[in-house]
Amino acid sequence: MWGMIATWRMALEGIEKGCNLLKEGGNAGDAIETAVREVEDFPFYKSVGYGGLPNEEMEVELDAAFMDGDTLDIGAVAAIKDFANPVSIARRLSKEPVNNLLVGEGAEKFAHKEGFERKNMLTDRAMIHYKNRVKEMTQTELKPYSGHDTVGMVCLDTAGKMTAATSTSGLFMKKKGRVGDSPVSGSGFYVDSKAGGATATGLGEDVMKGCVSYEIVRLMKEGIHPQEACERAVAMFDQELKERRGKAGDMSLVAMNNKGEWGVATNIEGFSFAVATENEAPMVYLTKNVNGKCIHEPASQEWMENYMKTRTAPLKEL
Contact 225, 195 (CB under 8 A): no
Please, are residues 288 and 282 in contact by the beta-carbon 8 Å criterion?
A: no
The verdict on 168 binding ligand SD4 (CB under 6 A) reads yes
User: Of residues 68, 181, 231, 238, which one binds ligand SD4 by CB under 6 A?
Assistant: 181
Task: Choose one: 74-82, 106-114, 127-135, 167-175; the region binding ligand SD4 (CB under 6 A).
Answer: 167-175
Catalytic residues: 150
The single-letter code of the amino acid at 304 is: M
Among 186, 204, 210, 260, binds ligand SD4 (CB under 6 A): 204
Part in contact with ligand SD4 (CB under 6 A); list of ranges 18-26, 174-182, 238-246, 285-293 = 174-182
Residues 62-101 as x/- pattern, contact with ligand SD4 by CB under 6 A: ----------------------------------------
Pick the piece of the chain touching ligand SD4 (CB under 6 A) from 9-17, 128-136, 146-154, 270-278: 146-154
Identified binder of ligand SD4 from the candidate list 34, 100, 163, 182, rule CB under 6 A: 182
166, 221 in Cβ contact below 8 A?
Answer: no
Residues, the chain: 318
Report the C-alpha gap between 253 and 234 in whole angstroms. Answer: 8
Q: Are 180 and 63 in contact (CB under 8 A)?
A: yes
CA 48 → CA 72, 141, 142, 222, 247, distances in Å? 25, 24, 21, 33, 27
Q: Which residues bind ligand SD4 (CB under 6 A)?
A: 148-150, 168, 170-171, 180-182, 201-204
